[in-house]
Structure 1
């Protein structure tokens, strides 16, 4: 019996760390006025998941992602208590019916009550229902010695969700750089990706990525820019 108790004590923390919540959908869209959207959560077990729903405004600045607690979107309920096998619907709705001039980005954080449980972050976008709008992406290759970065600027009014980022050489040879989700570029914002080194320095080639609607975009970078060295502070 003592050996059995010791074995259970060793296994339970691992099971707690493996505890996961299923979320549908994984990307949320909220009408700016007179609307709401729903998030469904399912706890497949075997443990109990407790936590809270937090709303954070999401912004991108060069080289960094910024989150700040926000009251522009409301969640109901905010406290979650899901035993094994339970399902829970969370309503998300705007705090104000005032129109928005540009798409707003948020992160829905599912923060666990127990540190051993996983934490989840889901994107939510709030915009006027004016029909589909494609992002407008401009690419720039930034060189810093032998290191290269791909910088994308989104001049459109909606976010861009990029997946399967690949590079194609001038003679048509393509290599996959980031399989699956590469990341988001918010409207009127930019994001950078560190690129693996190449002997040709990415000269003469172009990048490919897939957008959220499944279409493929070709990203032909401008002439590589030289990254400015950081000031020594003197």
Structure 2
């Protein structure tokens, strides 16, 4: 099957499509991690009701380009069960484990997709990472910023060995005033990849200030710029 490309603000990338009143699932954890060596992890799926939820769980390999997300079917991660049938109020544990016991040298990224049989119900997508264990490297982020301020685009590069999960993306102007640009989850930048965000125009063209975001460890990181103004361009998915 050829790769699928999902440009724009894709709910598949952000995690969850707009919730419907019936059978909106609760998923824990919302970011899944498998160690580099053979091991397993678990996903808990809870249906608070009022209607039953029936669907399938699939694992897709996940890659990024600057303006698109790439998802491709993968058999490298095994899920059990793959058919989910949850009456209202029920919980289900799903085991996730690698097909091979060989450790991986670099972090691998996947998406766990839960697709309902009833297309009126929401579909869910959770990130799953294998490798990149804690203590073996962190995201190394920087901003590439060049061009016009009329159509500002923030491009982030991740030169590290682990993914970056960014929340509360903000800009601090030259006077030290904080401007929250994307509250909550802004998106992910996979290891050795880059992503871009469309930003509101500013008279100063984002010159003289700095960007910052909260990473998955809860710490706020300033994002150093490699060049002064913001690049002009089209928005991409988060």
TM range (shorter): 0.7 to 0.9
Which one scores higher on RCO, CA 8 angstroms, separation ≥ 6?
2
Q: Hey, what's the Cα distance between the residues in 2 that align with 1:41 and 1:193?
A: 31
Once the two structures are superposed, what CA deviation does each residue of 1:141-177 show, in whole Å capped at 9, x if it has no partner? Answer: 2435610111111000000000000000111011100
Which is richer in helix? Answer: 1
TM-score (norm 2): 0.85
Cα offset for 1:133?
A: 2.2
The within-5 A match list for 1:63-82 is: 63-82=67-86
1:142–1:150 CA contact under 8 A, matched in 2: no
Structure 1 consecutive aligned stretches of length 4 or more whose deviation exceeds 4 Å: 225-229
Once the two structures are superposed, what CA deviation does each residue of 1:126-147 show, in whole Å capped at 9, x if it has no partner? Answer: 0054635211011112435610
From 195, 199, 203, give the equivalent of 2:199. Answer: 195
Once the two structures are superposed, what CA deviation does each residue of 1:176-221 show, in whole Å capped at 9, x if it has no partner? Answer: 0000000000000000011101111111110010000011111132
The within-5 A match list for 1:40-55 is: 40-55=44-59
Other-structure match for 1:223: 228
Q: Verify: 1:117 aligned to 2:91, yes or no.
A: no
How many residues align? The count is 215
Superposed CA RMSD: 1.9
Q: Hey, what's the Cα distance between the residues in 2 that align with 1:91 and 1:150?
A: 37
For structure 2, the 5+ residue unaligned runs are 1-18
For structure 1, the 5+ residue unaligned runs are 1-14, 230-234
2:22–2:49 CA contact under 8 A, matched in 1: no
